[in-house]
Amino acid sequence: MIFDWLNLTLLSALTAALLFGGMVYFALLFTPLTFRHLSREAAGAFLRQVFPAYYMAGYALAGLAGLLALWPRPLEGAILLLVAFGFGYGGLVLLPKIDGLRALALEGPSGEVSGGIGGAVNPHGERFRLLHRLSMAINLVQLVAVALILVALMLAA
C-alpha cells in the first residue's frame, strides 16, 4: 500500500518535531532578536502580546502529539500530554499572574520591576521574578522532555 510508512507514531513524531522546532526558534532566535532590535520596554510589551499564542500553539501541538502517541506509545503519549498540561498551566495561570505582578511592581515605590528605592524591596517585583523563573524552568523541562520523546518516537517509527 502507498501509505504503509504512515502510522500514529510517525504522525506524533512529526507533530512533536514541529513543537520542538517552534520552542527552539522562540527561545534561541525570536526572543533574543526581539530584545536586540527593540528597546527593553517595547520588546517586553511585544512579547507579552506574543506569549499567549506561543502557549496556545504549544498546548495544541503537544496535546495532538500526545493523543497520536497514546495508543502505540503510551509512555511517550502521556509525557507529551503532561507537556501540553504545562503549556496550558503556563498560558492560563502563570502568564496572567506574571503580567499582573509586573503591572503592580511598576506601580510600586521604585516604578520598576527589579527593585526598590534606597534598597527597599518591591514585593511585587520579587514575586514577579519568582514566577518568571518558574515559567522559564517549566519551559526548559518541557523542551528537554519534547526532545527526548521526539528521539524515542523517531526510533520507534
Following DSSP, what letter does each residue of the chain receive, concatenated?
A: -TTTT--HHHHHHHHHHHHHHHHHHIIIIIHHHHHHHS-HHHHHHHHHHHHHHHHHHHHHHHHHHHHHHHTT-HHHHHHHHHHHHHHHHIIIIIHHHHHHHHHHHHHSSSSSSS--GGG---HHHHHHHHHHHHHHHHHHHHHHHHHHHHHHHHHH-
| pLDDT on residue 67 | 97
Q: Distance between CA 89 and CA 38 in Å, rounded? A: 28
| pLDDT on residue 5 | 62
Q: Distance between CA 54 and CA 58 in Å, rounded? A: 6
| pLDDT on residue 110 | 54
The whole-model pTM stands at 0.87
Taking Cα atoms as reference points, which of 72, 50, 87, 89 lies closest to residue 155?
72
- pLDDT tens-digit map of 45-80: 999 999 999 999 999 999 999 999 999 999 999 999
Each residue's pLDDT expressed in tens, for the chain with a length of 157 residues: 555 667 999 999 999 999 999 999 999 999 999 999 999 999 999 999 999 999 999 999 999 999 999 999 999 999 999 999 999 999 999 999 999 988 887 776 555 555 444 445 577 788 989 999 999 999 999 999 999 999 999 999 8
Q: Residue 80 corresponds to which cell in the numbers above?
A: 507529551
